[in-house]
Amino acid sequence: MINRRNFIKTVPVVGAGVVLSNQVIAQPEYAKDKLPENHREYWVQLLDKVSGPVLEAGSQNKLKATMPVETTTGAKKKPSTYLEAVGRLLAGIAPWMESNSGNSTESGLRQKYREMALKTIHNITDETSPDYLFDHMEPQMLVDAAFLAHAFLRAPQQLWLALSADTKSNVVKCFVATREVKPYYSNWLLFSGMIEAFFLKNDLPFDIMRLDFSVKKHQEWYLGDGMYGDGPNFHWDYYNSYVIQPMLMDIVTVMQEKKKFDDRSTEEIAKRFTRYAAIQERLISPEGTFPIIGRSIPYRMGAFQHLAQACLQKRLPEIVKPAQVRCALTAVMQRIMSAPGTFDENGWLQIGLCGHQQSIGESYISTGSLYLCSTAFLPLGLATDDEFWKDADAPWTSVQIWSGEDLKNDHAIYQETKGCR
């Protein structure tokens, strides 16, 4: 059993002539626990804690009435925040809801969430509902309609096909309405592309230009070694994981299936995807922390959506074993989600990374935004007998390196050619 406390003892604290006191390097008490005996059980319990308030309120038509709206600007209202909560949450837990694996306790919980999710989707797209969320159209509505569309792609049987005919019609109507939003010249192009990919996947009328343009621009914006620019420029942040690579990979997969994208370009994007997964795994420190760089840090462990999707889709590099990623992601979850102040007294997420830290959020951050953290749960879509869950605990790369193990060196990938094909 891995014990992160023991890992830390192997790391030198003297370097470059500077001695760090024990007080400086000590971890907070809540972060000193060793990894859980049963990782999946811990993940499901955390999923339940994060998801419960949103879907219980949404399924009862009480989302607007009961969900708190915390903003970084002091604004008391943010109409899009409710769709942010629903779309982002479902995008993260969709593979788990699509799965049928797990013990009786997990299966019972899953069925409860399936039913609540279907009711919530009905309520937020029904014009007569007090929780109808598409009664206005602002740019942010495109973003989170896209996350909801991504959820449908990740759980086609349990989230899309299980809907009534009337609710499906309402969803389509709401998604079509987002076409009036002009996406920013950045990762936002993929939000339009994701909605059209949902239409394409389900043999509904789609706009090939919104699909093709979003993909080709990101091919042009590829910078090398598994990284895309967020628009024409590079941003040192986690948007390659929050949005760009997970959505791009799934959009081109749908396009390839429907003969709208060529196999060679899909393979190229997949190779970049795998390289970025290797980079993400190396970003997780022995303590379960990671560099706090760039914007949208309150998305918490959503910073590792890409790595989680790489596990779900079997796109990890050969040298990275699924069990070491499981342990790394569990360490991140423990380090972040156990921090006092993460949840309010009613179980809703609060702005911050390590607890309640309102100043760390940008002006667009609000309560609903925070539910992007659920995308770290994507591997729960894997069966319990998958190697990700069944293999013995294993140290992740930074643990191995900082413990003195002699690992093979890391290499960039060079073969790509920029531009469209």
With contact defined as beta carbons under 8 Å apart, do 152 and 196 qualify? no
Bridge partners of residue 71, in order along the sequence: 366
One pLDDT digit (tens) per residue for the chain, 421 residues: 455 545 444 443 333 333 333 444 456 776 666 789 999 999 999 999 999 999 999 999 999 999 999 999 999 899 999 999 999 999 999 999 999 999 999 999 999 999 999 999 999 999 999 999 999 999 999 999 999 999 999 999 999 999 999 999 999 999 999 999 999 999 999 999 999 999 999 999 999 999 999 999 999 999 999 999 999 999 999 999 999 999 999 999 999 999 999 999 999 999 999 999 999 999 999 999 999 999 999 999 999 999 999 999 999 999 999 999 999 999 999 999 999 999 999 999 999 999 999 999 999 999 999 999 999 999 999 999 999 999 999 999 999 999 999 998 998 987 544 444 4
User: What's the DSSP call for residue 372?
Assistant: G
**Strand segments (E) across 214-350:** 222-224, 227-228
Structural domains in the chain, sorted by start = 33-402 (1.50.10)
What pLDDT was estimated at residue 418?
47
The residue assigned the tokens 């309010």 is 344
Cα torsion angle, 281, 87, 257, 215, sign: negative
Pick left, alpha or beta for residue 347 (phi over 0 → left; psi -120 to 50 → alpha; otherwise beta): left
Burial of 353 (0-12, 13-18, 19+ CB in 10 A): buried
The residue assigned the tokens 């989230």 is 159
Bridge partners of residue 15, in order along the sequence: 18
Which token pair is 214?
């979003």
What pLDDT was estimated at residue 25?
44
| Alpha carbon distance 406, 402 (integer Å) | 10
Bridge partners of residue 222, in order along the sequence: 228
Q: How many residues does the chain have?
A: 421
Predicted TM-score (pTM) of the model is 0.92
What pLDDT was estimated at residue 33?
62
Burial of 47 (0-12, 13-18, 19+ CB in 10 A): buried
| Alpha carbon distance 294, 277 (integer Å) | 19
Cα torsion angle, 68, 73, 78, 80, sign: negative
Measured at the alpha carbon of residue 50, what is the angle toward residues 279 and 123, in degrees to the nearest 5? Answer: 115
> Nearest 10 degrees: CA dihedral of 116, 122, 125, 127?
-120
User: What's the DSSP call for residue 379?
Assistant: G
